[in-house]
Chains A and B, each alone.
Chain A
């Protein structure tokens, strides 16, 4: 048992989750694989979306995986950083838009 919560070596064991629940584990990986195929969006575009979301959900495994995936697809570091900013902007916007709620409440409670 590792003495830390995250171990980079655990990423390559991800597939093993099917061992304890084969059917739904396989369904997840089938779904996952299908999602990232070429479609109305290119696999390249989806890789950048995944990288942005990886940062927003703060998943270190996903950040490793989609940085590498981006490199494999020839995505540049400038494109990757812009994707991260897109995720960060939505995340900070999501915080800030609650400021309107604060303002509403403030105004309601104030004479």
Chain B
């Protein structure tokens, strides 16, 4: 289990160019596998274009209390990139005027941003329909100052989306670190205790599942059934939906794939599972991703690869929805991760 980010370890893969060289070279450059661009051109989807903007996803910082092996953000306690209140104010201005109906806060552990609560309070006032916070759960047990997060989320009607790689301790701790499973269970019980995730409750609690290794997620509905059964029987825990998310071959997951000699097989698996029906609904067609320092990206993955939107408007300070809706979406071979099988997005399957 890693305890530091790739960046802190000064690993070559922490560099965006190195990752893009890998994704654009090797089995793709020598023609063994087709480029993503060519696959979507077959169905008339190249260049990939946005539809109506529905989701504004804001990454409030890469700092996290965990160092998960698969993390595409390369997040961890040593990451110092944190959104300032000034950038948050620029985001709030956009939230008040956007046509998007969903605000999605992510990180790192978004709760670790010192201005997180202020930002949630202000953003909640903007009256957006669905207000998501992506929580790793353990943060709620990491320090006393976070113990009241369930009540805080309830007060602002936040939709909590939490990571939970498996319903067994062994698999969870292997991916996310020792003790993560027990802390996550405790946090879920506390969310249930204030009403989150209960059947018919309006306090939405969804779980995110992503595979703990070099394989794709299975059927989302079947996994949801298994998770619900196990979590209710073993711990009395309720939740609403399970989102099965495919690991994209970037950052720490790419590092793992290469180190474990699974990279080529994984890329084959993604390309074999390519589903043209998923292309029309990939996340980047209805989402704008904002980084901690206010730059705009087609998705959180492009953000981590440093691929800013191909638009005159590149920063939240100059935000213009019409101009952004006119852009072409930047793609590379990691995009196969979002079109494999039933498709994958931060909201789970798309096809």
Contact = CB atoms under 8 A, between A and B. Distances in A.
A72 interface: yes
A101 B166 CA distance: 48
B11 interface: no
B215 A71 contact: yes
A69 B213 CA distance: 12
A73 interface: yes
B223 interface: yes
A73 B171 CA distance: 13
Contacts of B211: 71-72
A74 B215 contact: no
Interface residues of B toward A: which range?
10 to 19
A59 interface: no
A95 interface: no
Contact of B168 (A38, A69, A76): A76
Interface residues of A, number: 12
A76 B222 contact: no
Contacts of B268: 12
B226 interface: yes
B182 interface: no
A72 B272 contact: no
Interface in A48-82: 68-69, 71-74, 76
Interface string B151-184: 0000000000000001110110000000000000
A56 to B, nearest CB: 23
A44 B222 contact: yes
B166 A74 contact: yes
Interface string B183-226: 00000000000000000000000000101010111110011001
Given A12-B268, A12-B272, A72 B217 contact: yes
Contacts of A76: 168, 170-171
A69 B211 CA distance: 12
Interface string A14-42: 00000000000000000000000010001
Interface string B285-327: 0000000000000000000000000000000000000000000
A43 interface: yes
Contacts of B171: 76
Contacts of B218: 69, 72-74
Nearest to B213: A71
B54 to A, nearest CB: 29
Contact of A43 (B170, B209, B213, B219): B219
11 contacts: A38-B222, A43-B222, A44-B226, A68-B215, A69-B218, A71-B215, A72-B216, A73-B219, A73-B226, A74-B167, A76-B170
Given A76-B170, A76-B171, 19 more contacts: A12-B272, A38-B222, A43-B219, A44-B226, A68-B215, A69-B218, A71-B211, A72-B211, A72-B215, A72-B217, A73-B219, A73-B223, A73-B226, A74-B167, A74-B209, A74-B218, A74-B226, A74-B227, A76-B168
